Amino acid sequence: MSAGTTTGGDRSRRGRLAERYRRRAPGEPRAVGYLYILPALIVYAVVLLFPFGQSVWLSFLHWDGLTRASYAGFSNYTQLFTDPDLRGAFWHAIVLLIFYSVIPVCIGLLLAAAMSRIRVRGMTFFRAVLFLPQVVAMVVSGVAWRAILAPDGLLNSVLRGIGLGSLARTWLGSYTFALPSVGTIGAWVGMGLCMVLFLAGAQRIPKELYEAARIDGAGAIREFFAVTLPGLRLEISVALTLTMISGLKNFDVVYVTTSGGPGTATTVPAYELYQRAFQTNQVGSAGAIGVALTVLIFLVTLLIGRLVEGKGEGKRA
Amino acid sequence: MTTSRTDRTMTYFVLAVFSVFSLVPLLGVLSSAFGKSGQGAGGGVAWPSDGLHWSNFAKAWTQGHFSTYLGNSAVVAVTVVVVAAVLATMAAYAFGVMRFPGSTALFYLFVLGLTLPAESFVIPLYFDLRALNLTDSLWGMILPQTAQSLAFGVFWMRTYFRNSVGSVIEAARIDGVRSWGILWRVLVPMGRPAITTMLVVTFMWTWNEFLLALVMISDDAHRTVPLGLAFFQGAHSSDNALLSAACVLIALPVVIVYVILQRSFIAGMLSGAVKE
């Protein structure tokens, strides 16, 4: 990323390097850079990095938040695999990723495929509308969707209205349907982000590629796999990363719509973390959830970055 | 081009379907907000029968304490946005146009913050701030959100400074402007679009933040709007009209900014994925 700015150069000769620093820097002794960074670094380190370190420390303790803590070794981490509540929460998070990430990406691709064939009028309008769920507070979205999924809510009214009343149910109160219902809310939020990303990407794919594909006799499906999909490689990775991160740390929607219920049907790691740290006094265990979640997010980001590495390089700074 | 009529119709059809899907829940809230108070007891949509009931907003404003919540949210959001913007701009300036040992490592330290969820630091931070008597105060929200906004701001603004024209900096330098002056009198005025994006995105994230508020604030007087809504829902779940009016009050400021500055919003939010 930053490699391109220091072109070539003999790295072994420090004197020349220092000379170049001086020439490239805008007329300041380069040490002044530290002063510019210092205020931000202090706030960032004290309020964010230091507590993160403390989280790691906490995750190795048994602590109820009040009395003296005792060393726990890795037990808080092994608990992630043995405690059925925690296993459930992480399992739900993985299921929700299908809704939060995979489905929005697929919807976005579907649209991008359709869009690649024509020039759409009113793009600005569609983009604004589709992106809107991203902008509204998750808490508000949760309340909005509760009204739709309620027993006498919009969804059930529509179902009854078109004679499918037998399908009507208490969506958020059902052991089977609560998790997919929460997932639908996530898909609704993530959909616009993916679409907007892919629409922008699809417009950048050279039209000649489509012409060429058509001359070669490729149908719509061939064309999609041969031209659109490779052309959107970078956008897909960005979309997957953003939606997966937001899916993994999802808390607001669950808190507002189901509170993890019915039973533990819709608990997620962040919800378990909140419960344990601030309701049931298992602070160490909560710390381990937080660290595990962070590692998971980090891995997802890294892995997706890896997958697209090599191709599509340099398209975006 | 060989764009057939069917292609065209299909595309608009798909676009329309998803646009409706994306609007319906929000329009439902908007319509319920004007509905008759007490309607939609089952939590369903309340329709504005016999006229628009503007009184819901007044009720949410006073009975629901949303005047207090909105005030708190405004103080938190403005402080976070301004402080984070100033500090992030300064740091990004150094990362963008100066060379000094360790700059890359320090920059990635900030970028790391983009992948650190609130869940990763909120528990110890709560105990730290409680020891300092800063929980149940707006500081409990301002401090962590400033730090989070810094991660994004430094990342975002460095890109701007990296791409800003070196010749401009050079010219200012020859005119005898020192680095501080180059930053504030030359680069910041030139970087209005980039800065606008940073401001609106951090504003929205701060305004909408829920988990931090839930952890840090327990008394009614310091609640921000998302937290207020969650408690309001607990107390008034039978009155969907009132609840929806509260939702509208919360969403409106961000939606208005979004409608005006749509491009900045989208650009900023899509940049969140760091490409290494």
- CA-based nearest residue in chain A for residue B176: A27
Nearest to A245 by CA among A188, A293, A191: A293
DSSP string for residues in A86-134:
HHHHHHHHHHHHIIIIIHHHHHHHHHHHHHTTSPPTTHHHHHHHHHHHH
Q: A30 vs B100: CB contact, 8 Å cut-off?
A: yes
Distance (Å, whole) CA A146 – CA A256: 9
Q: A317 vs B122: CB contact, 8 Å cut-off?
A: no
Q: Which two tokens stand for residue A171?
A: 């969506």
Q: What is the mean pLDDT of residues B222-240?
A: 85
Torsion sign across C-alpha atoms A118, A124, A129, A132? positive
Distance (Å, whole) CA A247 – CA A114: 27
Backbone angles phi, psi at A103, to 5 degrees: -65, -50
Q: B210 vs A255: CB contact, 8 Å cut-off?
A: yes
pLDDT in tens, B132-150: 999 999 999 999 999 999 9
Q: What is the mean pLDDT of residues B55-73?
A: 87
In chain B, % helix, strand, coil (3-state, to 5) comes to 75, 0, 25
Q: Which two tokens stand for residue B158?
A: 């460095």
Q: What is the mean pLDDT of residues B116-127?
A: 93
Superfamily in which the A75-308 domain is placed by CATH: MetI-like (1.10.3720.10)
Q: What does the pLDDT read at residue A90? A: 94
Nearest to A117 by CA among B19, B16, B9, B17: B9
Gap from B60 CA to chain A (nearest CA, Å): 15
Q: What does the pLDDT read at residue A5? A: 39
Q: What does the pLDDT read at residue A269? A: 94
Percent of all residues in chain B with a pLDDT value above 90, rounded to a whole number: 41
Please indicate if any CB of chain B lies within 8 Å of the CB of A194. no
Looking at the partner chain, which of A40, A128, A289 has a beta carbon nearest the beta carbon of B90? A40
Q: What amino acid is encoded at B98 in this protein?
A: M
Classify domain B65-270 by CATH architecture.
Orthogonal Bundle (1.10)
Find out whether A60 and A71 touch, Cβ atoms under 8 Å: yes
DSSP string for residues in A260-276:
T-STTTT--HHHHHHHH
pLDDT in tens, B159-192: 888 887 777 888 888 888 888 888 888 888 888 8
Find out whether A198 and A232 touch, Cβ atoms under 8 Å: yes
Residue B244 has pLDDT above 60, yes or no: yes
Residue B76 has pLDDT above 90, yes or no: yes
Backbone angles phi, psi at A62, to 5 degrees: -95, 120
Find out whether A218 and A277 touch, Cβ atoms under 8 Å: no
Q: A33 vs B99: CB contact, 8 Å cut-off?
A: yes
- What residues in B contact A146, CB-CB < 8 Å? 43
Q: What does the pLDDT read at residue B275? A: 43
Under the banding of pLDDT at 50, 70 and 90, the label for residue B117 is: very high
Q: What does the pLDDT read at residue B193? A: 85
Q: What mean pLDDT, rounded, does chain B reach? A: 86
Find residues 81-140 of chain B whose CB sits inside 8 Å of chain A. 87-88, 90-91, 93-95, 97-100, 103-104, 106, 109-110, 113, 115-128
Q: What does the pLDDT read at residue B274? A: 46
Looking at the partner chain, which of A1, A130, A256 has a beta carbon nearest the beta carbon of B276? A1
Gap from A5 CA to chain B (nearest CA, Å): 9
Q: B254 vs A146: CB contact, 8 Å cut-off?
A: no
Q: B251 vs A30: CB contact, 8 Å cut-off?
A: no
Q: What does the pLDDT read at residue A312? A: 44
Mean pLDDT, 10 residues at a time, chain A of 317 residues? 40 54 51 91 95 94 86 88 92 94 91 72 84 91 90 87 85 90 94 85 82 82 85 88 91 91 90 93 93 93 78 42
- CA-based nearest residue in chain A for residue B154: A40
Residue B255 has pLDDT above 80, yes or no: yes
Q: A305 vs B173: CB contact, 8 Å cut-off?
A: no
Q: What does the pLDDT read at residue B222? A: 92
Find residues 130-159 of chain A whose CB sits inside 8 Å of chain B. 130-141, 143-148, 150-154, 157
- What residues in A contact B170, CB-CB < 8 Å? 26
Distance (Å, whole) CA B147 – CA B151: 7
Find residues 132-191 of chain B whose CB sits inside 8 Å of chain A. 143-144, 146-148, 150-151, 154, 159, 162-163, 169-170, 172-173, 178-179, 182
Please indicate if any CB of chain B lies within 8 Å of the CB of A36. yes
How many other CB atoms are there within 10 angstroms of residue B104's CB atom? 13
Q: B170 vs A26: CB contact, 8 Å cut-off?
A: yes
Q: What does the pLDDT read at residue A13? A: 53
Distance (Å, whole) CA A153 – CA A150: 4
DSSP string for residues in B71-129:
HHHHHHHHHHHHHHHHHHHHHHHHHHH---TTHHHHHHHHHHHHH--GGGTHHHHHHHH
Under the banding of pLDDT at 50, 70 and 90, the label for residue B127 is: very high
